[in-house]
Amino acid sequence: MSSYIREPAVSGIFYPKTLNELNVNLQSLFSDSNFGPGKLPPSTSNERIYGMVCPHAGYMYSGAVAANGYYELSSSKFESAIIIGPNHYGLGSDVALMNKGSWKTPLGEINIDLELAQEIYQNCELVNIDELAHSRDHCIEVQLPFLQYIREKFEIVPIILVNQGKNTCIKLGNGIYESIKKRNLISIASSDLTHYESNSQAHEKDNLLISAILSLDIEKFYSVLLSFNVTACGYGAIATVMEISKMMGATEGKLLKYATSGDVAGDDKSVVGYSSILFV
């Protein structure tokens, strides 16, 4: 078995580089009462969470928004997390899966769920085994410290998408569902929303897209994306997790928090939108 370790690509850039600094940073994000949950995990909720949408910008911008979802997830006893995101660099395959090894963060190493990764590969012909695609991208990496903060033992299956078309994502969602339907897992879509528009435009467009996400309506979701040119980077990841969550039994999406980088940092001329959404 390969001992491949995926080293951090954006520690010290998107989030702190040392264990102590990262722990302090995560604690502050959960404690943030303006954009975060305002309290430290674990939550007291017993609600079944089938999927989540979380942002993936630098923690100073989107970390508090992301903390809302992870706070709610902190009471869940999931065995593994399937994390799906967009391929920002275009490296490697259209639908790229890592099926062995581990990912490293300042908080330690997280093993890949070998059995589950292999099942997904076998159940979905669109999926390719491809480590290169994951080598530089931040979209999965920035989710990991949050997961490590709320749960001591878990494994992951990382999937990164170049092809985010509707048909691809529905097929991928179905293939993943066939692999996980008898297991207690969480599926996470790593995506920011509108990019580099004014704060008012971002709020307007993202509210339309979020409405489609909350209804679990993939047709409406892609229609809004195209009609209003919503520049969500991980739209395919969101659609895939919507499909998985519906098949697992989710009946609705629940918006925990929405904010833009302008809301957080004050510059409202060119912002990026962030959401924390649960599928329950």
Give per-residue pLDDT as tens, 93-110: 999 999 999 999 999 999
In the chain, what are the domain boundaries?
Answer: 5-279
* 163 phi-psi bin (left φ>0, alpha ψ -120 to 50, beta other): beta
Q: Among 72-76, 173-177, 266-270, which is the least confidently predicted range? A: 266-270
Give per-residue pLDDT as tens, 123-152: 999 999 999 999 999 999 999 999 999 999
The number of beta carbons lying within 10 Å of the beta carbon of residue 40 is 15
Give per-residue pLDDT as tens, 176-221: 999 999 899 999 999 999 999 999 999 999 999 999 999 999 999 9
- pLDDT-based confidence at 249, cuts 50/70/90? very high
- pLDDT-based confidence at 3, cuts 50/70/90? confident
Query: Is residue 1 predicted with pLDDT exceeding 80?
Result: no
Fold assignment, 5-279: Protocatechuate 4,5-dioxygenase; Chain B (3.40.830)
Q: Angle, to 10 degrees, between the axis of helix 218-227 and the axis of helix 199-214?
A: 160
Q: How far apart are CA 56 and CA 208, in angstroms?
A: 20
pTM over 0.95: yes
CB-based contacts of 239, cutoff 8 Å, min separation 6: 164, 166, 169, 170, 173, 218, 221, 222
What local confidence, expressed as pLDDT, does residue 2 receive? Answer: 53
Give per-residue pLDDT as tens, 57-103: 999 999 999 999 999 999 999 999 999 999 999 999 999 999 999 99
Q: How many residues does the chain have?
A: 280
The number of beta carbons lying within 10 Å of the beta carbon of residue 126 is 16
> What secondary structure does DSSP assign to 91-139, as a single string?
-S-SEEE--SSEEEETTEEEEB-HHHHHHHHHH-TT-EE-SGGGSS--T
Mean pLDDT of the chain: 97
Going by C-alpha positions, the residue among 85, 86, 88, 50 that lies closest to residue 69 is 50
What average pLDDT does range 19-42 have in this prediction?
98
